[in-house]
Chains A and B, each alone.
Chain A
Amino acid sequence: MTEIAVPHFKQPLLKTPFHERARAFSQVDSFIPWAGYTTVDVFTTMEQEYFAIRNAATLYDLTPMVKYRVAGPDALPYLNRLVTRDLGKLKPDRVAYCVWCNDAGHLIDDGTVFRLSRDEYRICTAERQIDWFLDSAIGFDVEIGEVTEQIAALAVQGPTSCAVLKAVGLQGVEKLKPFEIGYFALGTHRLTVSRTGFTGDLGYELWMEPVSAEAVWDALMEAGRSRGIRAIGSQALNIARIEAGFLLPNVDFVSAEHTIRTGRDRSPLELGLGWLVDFNKGHFTGRRALLTERAQGSRRRLVGLDIAGNKPAHNSLLYTDDTGKREIGSVTSATWSPTCKRNIALAIVDAPHFQVGATVWAEIYLNRELVWERRMSRAQIVERPFFAPERRRATPPAEF
């Protein structure tokens, strides 16, 4: 096993290979730290960027996503013991969204697993967790190393994204099916393209060497000019991902490796990710605990909420009725959905109140010119995702 030590301590925040381009494009100078990098929160206005995701094409720098290379004869058995999904079914050049748990069956993190070849995989995830990955490798013939800094990554998302990629010269990119990986050349630059994303829309993620970053950015901006391309920051992406029903670590759940208080860990069953758990593939970490949870029933569930009114239910507590006497959960992510025209949220709700169709009440606080008002709003538990357009799956995607 090898481990790549990166001297992060020498520089509090690193710059991604796209940083100079992002700085030039930024109008409001709004940067935020993300996983050790300085990244853009908003370029122009959040609304403008959000609508570009849903109506045109967008560039989003996701280089800070933590990336691990997993390779060796035991790579597959290793990963199958690590994650809850059966990766035996994952073919080369395919991607799978996965979660992994601790012994108690509680989520450590989620991420995407790329099968690059027979015995080589890449895990993309939000948090650094080399210690968990290495401890999971005890007894397996597998090499694990962090490659975050060796790979620049750019998400190209939105209805015109495929057209942009074709215009820039990625011949055949339209044939990529969801979760498929393809290899392309852009001039002298080599690109790995996966049809993946965090917007719930048509979109791709481009993986490249850091030296290619600026040239690829420039080419995409140029080719996308007539297709409404725009760089976006994390704020706009956050709205899109709530509409798509995707979870954000440390927002919708806290890694079981980081929680201190009891009862703050979340299992995949509680997070509505039971479809990612394959009990028939053999042993994986957390399996025995999850079997027990499945037999006994989950104590809470992450659900989608459709809330009356138009005020986002940020951090709201949830109750059984509008008297607010019996607390049954809380909101983890909330937004007004501009596309659905609905007031939506993700929330954790205690058993047995989490059934789809059930009504709960959200306590929403409104700051009206420095005077706080409290409003109890009726909310209905609904299916996720809130927004799932056909175009996200259509192959080939529509022309623009």
Chain B
Amino acid sequence: MAVSAAQSQYDCIVIGGGHNGLVCAATLARGGRSVLVLEAGTQVGGAALTREFAPGFRVSAGAHLLHLMPADLLRELQLGSHGLDWAAEGMTTTALVPGGARLWLTAEGAEHGLSAPDAQAYASYTARMRRFAAALVPMFSRVPPRLGKEGWADRLALLRIGWQIRRLGRRDMRELLRIGGMNVYDLLEENFESAALKGALGFDAVLGANFGPRSPGTVLTLLYRLAAESAAGGSGMSQPKGGMGALCNALAGAASAAGATIRTGAPVASILVEGDRASGVVLESGESISARNVISSADPKTTFLRLLGPRHLDTGFVRRVKHIRSRGLAAKLHLALNRAPSFSGVGEASLRGRLLIAPSLQHIEHAYNHAKYGEFSAAPVMEITVPTVNDPTLAPAGQHVLSAIVQYAPYTLKEGWHSGRQRFTDAALDALERFAPGLRSSIVGAELLTPADMEQEFRISGGHWHHGDLAFDQFLMVRPVPGAAQYRTPLEGLFLCGAGCHPGGGVMGIAGRNAARQVLAAGKS
């Protein structure tokens, strides 16, 4: 018995109220669909939320910097009028160097302590990488083309990508193709002398990835990040006032204003199937809600293997979903501090941006070595922000929050996270203490979120920020897997809109918007 349109309670149910789910819901609602968002947690945001981690201290529990969400998306959804404001924009990067030196990287260039050849190389390297990133932008905002199909839209999309790369000119195109498959270690060795500079630039290639700088394909992941930043408008990193949760609150406001209904504390147990098409969901409470389309922002493994179930899918497809590499390696460390942290040689201007502990490529590679064998890094690498410097509302007056992404912390730690948790926290604090002597004595509260914790809290299979490694074989038309790479799935009426889709994780929102467009297009045909 198929559910007819008239009988369905909603046109669309969006599973998950993270940023992608909310962008999708807002776009669908603006397209005239009746939309219900079902969020398992008590507040919207998914892994992009602000919450308390120690009495009086709040932090962006997942991503803590916004740099990938397209400017036109922010405008389109009028997030400003729904309460989004910035605590900081155009944030800088400061590489912490042992011995109190430091390296300050801004959008304009690098300062302090670079040799003349490095300074020169930095300028040309940055310009070249920006050109490459710009050429890759067309891959981003659009639905990835299908291969082996006869559709003109697919051919056109492929042509557009090829044309953009060809337009770089012979020299640049040749260089792009040369470095495209390289590892970032070799690329940076070719260009620079300074260990600190190479460490800082290489860090972004492996942030949130299951890679060390010497892993093949890391130039591509770096270009991917740069291209995503370029696609977002290239205005750099920013920090929403009230943390990342404020962004999702604004998105929820936009979705609600457009007519979407948002329910929190409503975890979905399964996706309903009738007549071989998705027909709604059943909540863990037992309540069932019907809809003509179900759009899941949950990761592909959760969506297909748990919510839908293999019996509605073909074996080969299930096999591909199971093989998605989706084990997280990034942990999140939150510290409540009773005074402002003091990093040697780092002034307040630097503290307003992000700090990196990645003193050399060698150091990052060593940190990664442990993870390959199921151990955490003895000397981890980190991306640190002190959000309270820009936004004092996150902590009691005069006190501060330190938020750090700490790598590498494998999802399946050999010794188990029960005993590993404290030992890894200690390793991270030791690393921080080296650059911020006395930090330990200011700690009044601490929280470590391992990938296993993130799996629990954010309901992401494997606790991977990106719902699956961003790597050459999980990009574009093969993300998350062939057969579901255009936000559609083998099951009619079921769509994906999360980070597991093209173009992937990071607080981007593009997957949510593209998915909504696919749903709207499917409704027309």
B315–A102 contact, CB under 8 A?
yes
Q: Which of A135-143, A210-218, A340-348 contacts B (4 or more CB under 8 A)?
A: A135-143
B490–A138 contact, CB under 8 A?
no
Q: Does B443 contact A (CB under 8 A)?
A: no
* Shortest Cβ gap from A52 to chain B (Å): 41
The DSSP consensus for interface residues of chain B is: helix
Q: Does B322 contact A (CB under 8 A)?
A: yes
A138–B318 contact, CB under 8 A?
yes
Q: Does A21 contact B (CB under 8 A)?
A: no
Mark each residue of chain A from 128 to 171: 1 if its CB lies under 8 Å from any CB of chain B, else 0.
00001001101110000000000000000000000000000000
Q: Does A283 contact B (CB under 8 A)?
A: yes
A289 to B, closest residue via Cβ:
B314
* Shortest Cβ gap from B442 to chain A (Å): 49
Q: Does B174 contact A (CB under 8 A)?
A: no
Residue of A82, A138, A285, A288 with most chain B CB atoms under a 10 A cut-off: A138
Q: Which of B27-35, B102-110, B259-267, B304-312 contacts A (4 or more CB under 8 A)?
A: B304-312
Bound complex: CA A288 to CA B322 (Å): 21
A-B contact count (CB 8 A): 48
Given contacts A140-B311, A283-B311, contact A288 B490 (CB under 8 A): yes
A285–B490 contact, CB under 8 A?
no
Which of A77, A102, A103, A286 has a CB less than 8 Å from the CB of B311? A77
Bound complex: CA A283 to CA B318 (Å): 13
* Shortest Cβ gap from B172 to chain A (Å): 36
A288–B316 contact, CB under 8 A?
no
A283–B276 contact, CB under 8 A?
yes
B276–A288 contact, CB under 8 A?
yes
B310–A103 contact, CB under 8 A?
no
Bound complex: CA A285 to CA B483 (Å): 14
Bound complex: CA A135 to CA B311 (Å): 12
Q: Does A122 contact B (CB under 8 A)?
A: no
B315–A135 contact, CB under 8 A?
yes
Q: Does A241 contact B (CB under 8 A)?
A: no
Task: List residues of B (256-278) whose CB comes within 8 Å of A's CBs.
Answer: 276
B304 to A, closest residue via Cβ:
A139
Given contacts A283-B276, A288-B276, A288-B490, contact A139 B315 (CB under 8 A): no
B317–A103 contact, CB under 8 A?
yes
Bound complex: CA A134 to CA B317 (Å): 14
Bound complex: CA A138 to CA B316 (Å): 11
- Chain B residues with CB under 8 Å of A132's CB are 315
Bound complex: CA A339 to CA B102 (Å): 92
B318 to A, closest residue via Cβ:
A138
Given contacts A283-B276, A288-B276, A288-B490, contact A139 B314 (CB under 8 A): no
A283–B315 contact, CB under 8 A?
no
Q: How many residues of B contact A (CB 8 A)?
A: 16
Q: Does A81 contact B (CB under 8 A)?
A: yes
- Chain A residues with CB under 8 Å of B490's CB are 103, 288
- Chain A residues with CB under 8 Å of B318's CB are 135-136, 138-139
Mark each residue of chain A from 261 to 294: 1 if its CB lies under 8 Å from any CB of chain B, else 0.
0000000000000000000000101111000000
Given contacts A103-B483, A288-B276, A288-B490, contact A138 B314 (CB under 8 A): no
Q: Does B319 contact A (CB under 8 A)?
A: yes
- Chain B residues with CB under 8 Å of A103's CB are 314-317, 483, 490
* Shortest Cβ gap from B392 to chain A (Å): 50
Bound complex: CA A105 to CA B120 (Å): 59
Q: How many residues of A contact B (CB 8 A)?
A: 16
Given contacts A138-B322, A139-B305, contact A285 B311 (CB under 8 A): no
B492 to A, closest residue via Cβ:
A288
A101 to B, closest residue via Cβ:
B314
Residue of B309, B315, B318, B483 with most chain A CB atoms under a 10 A cut-off: B315
- Chain A residues with CB under 8 Å of B322's CB are 135, 138
- Chain B residues with CB under 8 Å of A139's CB are 305, 309-311, 318
- Chain A residues with CB under 8 Å of B317's CB are 103
- Chain A residues with CB under 8 Å of B314's CB are 102-103, 285-288
Bound complex: CA A159 to CA B315 (Å): 42
* Shortest Cβ gap from A60 to chain B (Å): 32
A81–B311 contact, CB under 8 A?
yes
* Shortest Cβ gap from B489 to chain A (Å): 11
* Shortest Cβ gap from A398 to chain B (Å): 44
- Chain B residues with CB under 8 Å of A82's CB are 315
A135 to B, closest residue via Cβ:
B319
Task: List residues of A (105-142) whose CB comes within 8 Å of B's CBs.
Answer: 132, 135-136, 138-140
B312–A138 contact, CB under 8 A?
no
- Chain B residues with CB under 8 Å of A77's CB are 311
Given contacts A102-B316, A103-B316, A283-B276, contact A138 B310 (CB under 8 A): yes
Mark each residue of chain A from 72 to 100: 1 if its CB lies under 8 Å from any CB of chain B, else 0.
00000100011000000000000000000
Given contacts A135-B318, A288-B276, contact A283 B312 (CB under 8 A): yes
Bound complex: CA A140 to CA B305 (Å): 11
- Chain A residues with CB under 8 Å of B319's CB are 135, 138
Bound complex: CA A213 to CA B116 (Å): 86
A102 to B, closest residue via Cβ:
B316
B315–A285 contact, CB under 8 A?
yes
Mark each residue of chain B from 303 to 337: 1 if its CB lies under 8 Å from any CB of chain A, else 0.
00100011111111111001000000000000000
Bound complex: CA A285 to CA B310 (Å): 10
B305 to A, closest residue via Cβ:
A139
Task: List residues of B (277-311) whose CB comes within 8 Å of A's CBs.
Answer: 305, 309-311
- Chain B residues with CB under 8 Å of A140's CB are 310-311
Task: List residues of B (165-195) whose CB comes within 8 Å of A's CBs.
Answer: none
Bound complex: CA A351 to CA B319 (Å): 33
Bound complex: CA A103 to CA B319 (Å): 11
* Shortest Cβ gap from B332 to chain A (Å): 31
Bound complex: CA A82 to CA B310 (Å): 11
Bound complex: CA A103 to CA B481 (Å): 14
* Shortest Cβ gap from B81 to chain A (Å): 44
Bound complex: CA A178 to CA B312 (Å): 33
Bound complex: CA A102 to CA B318 (Å): 11
B312 to A, closest residue via Cβ:
A283
A262 to B, closest residue via Cβ:
B148
* Shortest Cβ gap from A61 to chain B (Å): 32
Bound complex: CA A283 to CA B274 (Å): 11
A138–B305 contact, CB under 8 A?
yes
- Chain B residues with CB under 8 Å of A138's CB are 305, 310, 315, 318-319, 322
- Chain B residues with CB under 8 Å of A288's CB are 276, 314, 490
The 10 sampled A-B contact pairs (Cβ below 8 Å) are A77-B311, A135-B319, A136-B315, A136-B318, A138-B310, A138-B319, A140-B310, A283-B311, A285-B315, A286-B314
- Show the binding face of B for A, using Cβ within 8 Å: 276, 305, 309-319, 322, 483, 490
- Given contacts A138-B319, A139-B309, could you give 10 more A-B pairs where the C-beta distance is less than 8 Å? A103-B314, A103-B490, A132-B315, A135-B315, A135-B316, A138-B318, A283-B276, A287-B276, A288-B276, A288-B314
- Show the binding face of A for B, using Cβ within 8 Å: 77, 81-82, 102-103, 132, 135-136, 138-140, 283, 285-288
